[in-house]
Chain A
Amino acid sequence: AQSVTQPDIHITVSEGASLELRCNYSYGATPYLFWYVQSPGQGLQLLLKYFSGDTLVQGIKGFEAEFKRSQSSFNLRKPSVHWSDAAEYFCAVGEGNNDMRFGAGTRLTVKP
């Protein structure tokens, strides 16, 4: 069955430290891959997406993600976290005309 797994429910990092949020998926072929961010009290905003081509994708707010086919992963990274990055992050995966499926989310806390 198709699934999207975000293994980390909650991550805490210090401001200025690097960040990596994990996402694994189970799909038959290479799907479309997305990361969304949800700031407190807000809707979801697209950070970045991967359809094909270069496996390292740049997004907004200094985020990037790397698609690794062999590991069925699409991890989100940021070299230096800012306090304003505290939010919940969702990985989403989909194929073709089918609706995207969301992971359970990872809540990021940033320590001063």
Chain B
Amino acid sequence: NAGVTQTPKFQVLKTGQSMTLQCAQDMNHEYMSWYRQDPGMGLRLIHYSVGAGITDQGEVPNGYNVSRSTTEDFPLRLLSAAPSQTSVYFCASSRRQGAGTGELFFGEGSRLTVL
């Protein structure tokens, strides 16, 4: 009954370091996405994927890279971390893209602090 699994749950980085947030889902969902959550701003879409080998930018993509080599996995990479990337990151998935699918399934989040 795993659903969407994110790792790590917590991470502290220094400015300029790189890291990868991992996301895996076991529901055979075509659509996967990454959001960041900041106080007073709700969730903002970073990148998304509609299937293996297909990714696209969301609302706030700068400073982040993604890839989708399998249906199950959708890692988010920070190439050179900046303090502005301090946030809580959520991975989400659904059967396909769009609000019309009815529901996004979320992971438990990854809290990232960049010093």
Q: Which size bracket describes the interface of B in this complex?
A: 20 to 34
B53 beta carbon closer than 8 Å to chain A: no
Q: Once the chains bind, are B41 and A97 in contact (CB under 8 Å)? A: no
Task: Tell yes or no: B99 within 8 A of A by CB.
Answer: yes
Q: Of B48, B90, B107, which contacts A99 at CB under 8 A?
A: B48
| A53 is an interface residue with CB less than 8 A from chain B | no
For chain A, what secondary structure do more than half of its interface residues adopt (helix, strand, loop), or is it mixed? loop
Q: Which residue of B lies closest to A90 (CB)?
A: B42
Which of these binds chain B: A13-21, A37-45, A63-71, A74-82?
A: A37-45
Q: Does B108 contact A98, Cβ atoms closer than 8 Å? A: no
On B, residues with C-beta under 8 Å from A are: 4, 33, 35, 40-45, 48, 58, 90, 92, 97-100, 102-104, 106-109
- Residues on A facing B (Cβ under 8 Å): 4, 6, 9, 31-32, 34, 41-46, 49, 51, 90, 92-100, 102-105
- The reply to whether A104 and B98 form a contact with Cβ atoms under 8 Å apart is no
How far apart are the CA atoms of A31 and B106 in the complex, in Å?
A: 21
Residue of chain B at shortest CB distance from A6 = B42
Assess the B98–A94 pair: CB atoms within 8 A: yes
Q: Are A44 and B90 in contact (CB under 8 A)?
A: yes
Q: A43-B90, A43-B106, A43-B107 are in contact. Are A96 and B42 (CB under 8 A)?
A: no
Interface centre among A42, A46, A98, A99 (most CB of B within 10 A): A99
**Contacts A44-B92, A98-B98, A99-B33 given; 20 further ones with Cβ under 8 A?**
A34-B99, A34-B103, A42-B109, A43-B4, A44-B104, A44-B106, A51-B100, A90-B43, A92-B99, A94-B98, A94-B100, A95-B99, A95-B100, A96-B98, A97-B98, A99-B45, A99-B98, A99-B99, A100-B99, A102-B43
- Most chain-A CB neighbours within 10 Å: which of B42, B107, B109? B42
Q: Which of B42, B43, B90, B97 contacts A97 (CB 8 A)?
A: B97
Bound form: Cα–Cα A34–B108 in Å: 19
Q: Which residues of A contact B102 (CB under 8 A)?
A: 32, 49, 51
**In the assembled complex, which residues on chain A have CB atoms less than 8 Å from the CB atom of B109?**
41-43
Q: Which residues of A contact B48 (CB under 8 A)?
A: 99
Instruction: Kindly state the separation between the CA atoms of A103 and B108 in the bound complex, as whole angstroms.
Output: 19
